[in-house]
Amino acid sequence: MGNMIRALSVLMLTLSPIACAHSADSSATATPQAAAAHPIKVAETKAVLRDLWLGHILSIRNVAVATVDKNASARSVAEAGVVANAEQIARSIEPFYGKPAADKLFTLLAGHYQGIREHLDATVAGSASQQEAAVKALTANAAEIATFLSSANPNLPKDTLMGLLMAHAAHHLTQFQQLKDGDYAHEAETWKGMKQHIYVVSDALTQALAAQFPAKF
In this predicted model, what pLDDT tens digit does every residue of 38-82 receive, in sequence order?
999 999 999 999 999 999 999 999 999 999 999 999 999 999 999
**pLDDT band at 36, cuts 50/70/90?**
confident
Number of neighbours of residue 142 by Cβ within 10 angstroms: 23
**For the chain, how big is the Rg over CA atoms in Å?**
17
C-alpha separations of 76 from 62, 80, 115, 119, 124 in Å: 10, 6, 17, 17, 17
Residue-range domain boundaries for the chain: 2-216
Q: Record the pTM.
A: 0.83
User: What's the pLDDT score for residue 5?
Assistant: 45
Number of neighbours of residue 86 by Cβ within 10 angstroms: 22
Work out the widest C-alpha separation in the chain, in whole angstroms.
54
